[in-house]
Amino acid sequence: MIIPSKLSVSQTTIFTEMSALAAKHNALNLGQGFPDYDPPAELLDLVKKYIDNHKHQYAPMAGVPALREMLAQKVAKSYDCCVNSESEITITAGATQAIYTAIAALVHPGDEVIVFEPSYDSYRPAIEIAGGKTVPYTMDGPEFKINWYLVSAMIRPETRMIIINTPHNPTGTILKEDDLIHLSRLVRDTDIIILSDEVYEHLVFDGHRHESVLLYPELFQRSIAVFSFGKTYHCTGWKVGYCVAPEYLMNEFRKVHQWNVFSVNSFIQYAMADFMATPDHYLLLGQYYQAKRDYFLDCMSGSGFKPLKTEGTFFQVCDYSTISDRDDVDFARQLTTNHGVACIPISVFYSAKRQDKLIRFCFAKTESMLMAAGKILGKIH
């Protein structure tokens, strides 16, 4: 049988490849973005509590009410945005599921979606499966800024959605107030929906503020904002996230959500609701990861790698152009096999696979791993 594929490209992701290569060569894995330490002990205790309390059955489709109420309070305190916990917040099986569901619900065949590259690799396949067309805007290093006047020239009657991501994976940059103001003006008087990937919302450094779409009332009225518990509480494998949107958009989101996921595991939702009662659990994360960023950079000082400015996330992009002429995929493989440190090449985040001699390290690791990796990298020139 010949089965037509819904995806133009079908291959193992670079994250799977590099993690497997790291395991094969016993390399320090600074590639795939996950912490190598446990979630907070208090959160683990709460999960156990609700397992012992027999919270094993289906949660409500939109999520446990207590957790959605805590999130509504958090949104109000963090972004001065009043949302209805019943109709404007949905708990999801991770942020990637929320992104996929939003695209599936709102992008129709023939619709165009503007994506800023380099971009998280799940956007394009979701758009393609929905029958839409990805329209890439290429950001250039080292600053990876957006020229909104050029973006305005890309908008056509077919433009259905614009996807933004701040703090940005893979570059570690953040959108500023001017960016959100320009975006708001750009989509005014259109039917364009904004899908805002904000999974690293609390990982913002150097005194900057996270510029969420929730801070801008006019923008929020056409936006779905996506967040992640996994990135916030060091539990990426639990696959729990959530999204916030005005009711008319959330209604469309839930129409798809109920058929591809329906509900998310219950006992973790109850535990998260209790854990969020202490805001410092997430408010202090920026300081925590900024210290890790600085420690990692200190450990690798003296190397031939040129670090680019990281304003958020737990990723550090480095320029290796003075070290090697290899393309970034080959260089990443060589760094893993020959030196014992795994990373991710930046070219895979561009549809054109452009070569800028850039690689990405994840510094959401223990100090011992960062020190060991830094010592290795510091000797490479």
pLDDT at res. 188: 96
pLDDT at res. 10: 61
Give, for all 381 residues of the chain, the pLDDT tens digit. 888 888 876 667 888 889 999 999 999 999 988 899 999 999 999 999 999 999 999 999 999 999 999 999 999 999 999 999 999 999 999 999 999 999 999 999 999 999 999 999 899 999 999 999 999 999 999 999 999 999 999 999 999 999 999 999 999 999 999 999 999 999 999 999 999 999 999 999 999 999 999 999 999 999 999 999 999 999 999 999 999 999 999 999 999 999 999 999 999 999 999 999 999 989 899 999 999 999 999 999 999 999 999 999 999 999 999 999 999 999 999 999 999 999 999 999 999 889 999 999 999 999 999 999 999 999 999
Phi, psi of 360 (to 5 degrees): -120, 130
What's the whole-model pTM score?
0.96
In a domain, 96, yes or no: yes
153 and 26 assigned to the same domain:
no
Quote the CA–CA distance of 304 and 321 in Å, as a whole number: 9
293 and 361 assigned to the same domain:
yes
In a domain, 129, yes or no: yes
* CATH code, domain with 341: 3.90.1150.10
Quote the CA–CA distance of 341 and 354 in Å, as a whole number: 23
**Region for residue 172 given its phi and psi (left: phi exceeds 0; alpha: psi -120 to 50; beta: otherwise):** left
pLDDT at res. 375: 95
In a domain, 265, yes or no: yes
In a domain, 267, yes or no: yes
Alpha helices in the chain (DSSP H): 14-24, 41-52, 65-79, 95-106, 123-129, 148-154, 177-187, 217-220, 229-232, 247-260, 266-275, 280-283, 285-299, 328-334, 367-377
CA dihedral 334, 327, 134, 230 (to 10 degrees): 30
Quote the CA–CA distance of 209 and 15 in Å, as a whole number: 29
Q: Report the Cα 262 to chain-centroid distance in Å.
A: 22
In a domain, 1, yes or no: no
Q: Which of 278, 299, 326 is the last residue of a domain?
A: 278
pLDDT at res. 341: 97
pLDDT at res. 312: 97
213 and 249 assigned to the same domain:
yes
154 and 254 assigned to the same domain:
yes
Quote the CA–CA distance of 322 and 304 in Å, as a whole number: 6
25 and 63 assigned to the same domain:
no
114 and 135 assigned to the same domain:
yes
6: amino acid identity, one letter:
K
225 and 372 assigned to the same domain:
no
Q: Which of 278, 304, 328 is the last residue of a domain?
A: 278
* CATH code, domain with 94: 3.40.640.10
241: amino acid identity, one letter:
G
- Token digits of residue 151: 């973006």
CA dihedral 263, 65, 218, 110 (to 10 degrees): 10
Range of the domain at 258: 41-278
In a domain, 7, yes or no: no
Q: Which of 278, 301, 331 is the last residue of a domain?
A: 278
| 3-state DSSP assignment of residue 85 | coil
241 and 304 assigned to the same domain:
no
372 and 299 assigned to the same domain:
yes
Number of separate domains in the chain? 2
In a domain, 123, yes or no: yes
76 and 193 assigned to the same domain:
yes
In a domain, 330, yes or no: yes
241 and 313 assigned to the same domain:
no
19 and 68 assigned to the same domain:
no
